[in-house]
Amino acid sequence: PGVAVAFIYRANLFVGAFIAGALTALTIGFVARTGKVKEDTAIGVVFIGAFALGVLIISTTHSYSLDLTHILFGNLLAVSDEDLLTIAIVAVVVLTLIFALYKEWILLSFDKTHGESIGLPMGALNNLMLVMIALTIVVSMRVVGNVLSVAMLITPAATAYLVTKSVPRMMLVAASLGAFSSVAGLLASYHANVASGPAIVLV
């Protein structure tokens, strides 16, 4: 919805996307903590709801199909120097937080109860992680779009989970797979004359 509103009013797409993304992430955390559903279910319900609202807002514009295509599937060739700078800044912020709070992330992922018992603010850490995920999705939207950015976030990590048992190696393998897929998918899309975003995700 943030992208849709920013697009209609010719505002900064990144700012609109981040505001909506952060609110969506925090809503997911709230629903998972206070509701009777698990976090993955909360992600599905809230994400799809926000997604539908965004499509609804975009459908009010005259060039509905063209606008929606760019937002949903991205346009790698339209990435500007400003976009690259934004991606670099977000990457530095997210990686800094990952390394600075590495032990806390491990506890949050594998033993939340122990983290709470030693006094760590697990709720705040969970919200911070969700906002970091939202930031990551937002900056990748320009390249692969709203839908495919989620696939790019999940698939390399899921693949790495299958081939290694160490968390640091898992992170390294996932990042390497994501980078390799981006380059290989772009080359494949060029030679096959197909859309770059979907090609990257399929690789």
Taking only the tens place, the pLDDT of each residue in 166-193 is 999 999 999 999 999 989 999 999 999 9
Q: Distance between CA 22 and CA 28 in Å, rounded?
A: 10
Are the beta carbons of 90 and 143 closer than 8 angstroms? no
Give the tens place of pLDDT for each residue, 104-139: 999 998 888 899 999 999 888 988 988 898 888 888
- The H or E element containing residue 10 is none
Cα gap 92→85, rounded to integer Å? 11
Statement: the pTM of the whole predicted model exceeds 0.85: no
Task: Go through the chain and tell me how many residues it has.
Answer: 203
